[in-house]
Amino acid sequence: MRFLPEEEQQRQFAACYARSRLTPEQLWMRYFALGGSLSLLELDAYLNGLTPLPRVDRDMLAHAVNERLDELAGPPRAPYSHSVRDGKPLHGPLKALVDLLEGAHRAPPERLAAVVADAGRALDLRIAVYLADYDQRTLVPLRPATAELDIETTVAGDVFRRAGTIVTHDGPAPTLWTVLLDGVERLGVLEIVPIDGADPADPVLREQCHWLASLLGHLVTVTTQYGDGLDVRRRRRHRGSPAELLWQSLPPLTGATDSVIVGASVQPAYDLCRTVFDYALSEQRAWLAMFDAGASFAAVNALAAYRAARRDGASLAEQYAAVDFGPAVTGVLAELDLRTGELCWLTAGHPPPLVVREGAALPHAGERARLRPGDVLALYSPGVTEIADGGGTAFARARVAGYLARETLPPETARLLTRAVADHGGGELRRDIGVLVARWVPH
């Protein structure tokens, strides 16, 4: 394959980027959506000719600029590192990308494991996919003959909990374990074994694996929406119709912008019938909500009324009025200004938000608080603090604060907290519990 010299590609790219009228931030967002892993700082250095980039990232940036130029219709397109006349790539990361995209096109969800294996071979890798079950206690392999992995006690589980990457040497061959993400939501892990003797700790290989994992995470989410194959693998037992209805109404368990990270957990995963949460993130604000209802239909109606009012631009008080709280529906609504840290909330039968700063819960009066960078806040259902152990001791607000003070990301904090509440109650929940955790990280 014939490749364009890096210096010439960078020169032509700079000219096309100037015509795209994209800011560095806008270009980075488009590049990130394609699976890129560079920081905005690294991208800015490349744009100013201060640092080289791997061919994979140069091509993703070229593709991001070309998409913008196509929208503007007309200007010459940015060059890729290889000539278009070479046609479909024969090996390496671009071939892996093409194989994954072409293989997933019109493929039923249960064929995804085979598609991933084919894409891995283009990188001389053997790849196995594990998805977290809906209880987030087990990593379930897409290939049924493979053993399941416990999230709390295995290396793969540690990778999932920390959303990281680990190289192990205790098996037949060195193995790279990396988290599988759809955007920022943890879906599972990948087990990656080089079949050509390559070192899985090699930075270039790890970068290629991260790129592949990012695209695969999107494909897992997309294919789950039009088939049951992956959903069935993730289920450990029967899910009743109330839980089915509620889960279909919930947003992803994790959301993030460059100013806030949100993570949620609701339990019991397979018998959920009354507790739901919601959030919406923008450049300037984060809206958070938690509802409890006497029945699943009432919970869904409350969620729909809240979303409709919020999307109409209603104030927090107007959103509250739209939900029509009463004996059948309780909840808490909150709004966080991501520029100033001002938090305001309204409650109806729910505890107020809990804010933890430097390991300690903040006292509050009224319905407002001012956050500082790094503060963690949580909305939670009454069951979280009311569930008691065999001796009648409730879990209590102080224990919730203890989990919020841990140095973990919000989705892991939420998972650990609901699991601890369930264990406190004897391991089997007799009522729904839900928690929505957010960390304010202004840039």
Over 90: is that where the pLDDT of 344 sits?
yes
Q: Tokens in use for 138?
A: 């087990």
Query: In which residue ranges of the chain is CATH 3.30.450.40 found?
Result: 93-233
Eight-class DSSP state of 80 = P
- Report d(CA 221, CA 315) in Å as an integer: 32
| Count of CB atoms situated within 10 Å of the CB of 416 | 18
The residue with greater pLDDT, 41 or 103, is 41
| pTM as predicted | 0.76
Q: How far apart are CA 346 and CA 337, in angstroms?
A: 15
Cα–Cα distance measured from residue 148 to residue 234, given in angstroms and rounded to the nearest whole number: 11
Where, residue-wise, is CATH 3.60.40.10 in the chain? 241-440
Token couple for 180: 């599988």
Rounded CA-CA distance 56/94 in Å is 8
Among 73-77, 242-246, 358-362, 413-417, which stretch is predicted with the lowest mean pLDDT?
73-77
At 96, is the secondary structure helix, strand, or coil? helix
pLDDT reported for residue 87: 45
Q: In terms of Cα–Cα distance, which of 369, 392, 394 is closest to 379?
A: 369
Residues 128-159, buried b or exposed e (16+ Cβ, 10 A)?
Answer: bbbbbbbbbbbbbbbeeeeeebebeebbbbeb
Task: Give the single-character DSSP code of 76.
Answer: P
The span from the CA of 159 to the CA of 132, in Å, is: 12
Tokens, residue 256: 């993030």
- 163 backbone dihedrals φ, ψ, rounded to 5°: 55, 50
For residue 3, pLDDT beyond 60: yes
Helix (H, G, I), strand (E, B) or coil at 434: strand
pLDDT single digits (tens) 74-92:
556 677 665 544 444 445 5
pLDDT confidence bin for 158, thresholds 50/70/90: very high
Average pLDDT, stretch 46-56? 86
pLDDT, position 334: 98
CA distances from 108 to 99, 165, 227 (A): 15, 29, 7
Coil, helix or strand at residue 294: coil
Asked if residue 399 lies in contact with residue 435, where contact means CB atoms within 8 angstroms, the answer is no
Higher pLDDT, 154 or 117: 154
* Residues 418 and 435 sit within 8 Å (Cβ to Cβ): yes
Q: Which residue has the higher pLDDT, 329 or 365?
A: 329
User: What topology does CATH give the domain 93-233?
Assistant: Beta-Lactamase (3.30.450)
In tens, the pLDDT along 107-143 reads: 788 888 888 888 888 778 899 999 999 999 999 999 8
Q: Are 378 and 412 in contact (CB under 8 A)?
A: no
**Using CA atoms, how far apart are residues 191 and 166, in angstroms rounded to an integer?**
10
CATH number of 241-440: 3.60.40.10
